[in-house]
Structure 1
């Protein structure tokens, strides 16, 4: 077996598969229950995975960790289309959510950077910029 994974028809068990991805075996079983993966071979309780399944597990982990996708979103992308919702619309929805998070993080960063550089010794009480920020927020909430 190569260090990069099984080749050809080689299959590996759930324990080794889970270890290679830094996952618990229960995670793989849960993903199977959710229909996200299925073993290449199953004999009784024993599950074995090949290159195709390893790729799919890697995609799920990648999308969950770096794409911040939920398992429902991942299931929809893997299925292609679910209830008139295409995988593209799922990905576009996730991108919109990430962009909103980026806007909120940029605003938080700006606020905190100002807080650190405010010349007033007690900026929470006396900073005019922070006072303006809270006044704008209050006006927005009251509207």
Structure 2
């Protein structure tokens, strides 16, 4: 199968793309990277353009679903922003999506702290620094972290 035998068609590329999209939303770049392993560049580009025009693939929809899913798993806006960029989402769309999502990042941060540390304050500066590093890694802003941990 694939373009190695020179016989794959746009229909096959479309079916492969639809199979991926049926499982979850994908960014255009993600779909491109997965499909180019099996099909020619021209076929992939053409199929993705058609899917986007038909509204079956949408970077905007992908970004919204991604923000919702990652924020529910305890990740902050800085980490989510970086992950979206890695998946080929434009800075403008990332900013727009993070702005329009109805996530209270302060509340999300407090939820992570509560789940991870059970409301117990840090016993010493070393422990507090460890918690700050963890929360920074999770993608929350240093200013908010200090506010929540103090």
Structure number with larger C-alpha Rg: 1
Whichever structure has more helix as a proportion of its residues is: 2
Whichever structure has more strand as a proportion of its residues is: 1
TM-score over 0.5 (shorter chain) = no
Structure ranking higher on relative contact order (CA contacts 8 Å, 6+ apart) = 2
TM-score by length of 1: 0.29
TM-score by length of 2: 0.28
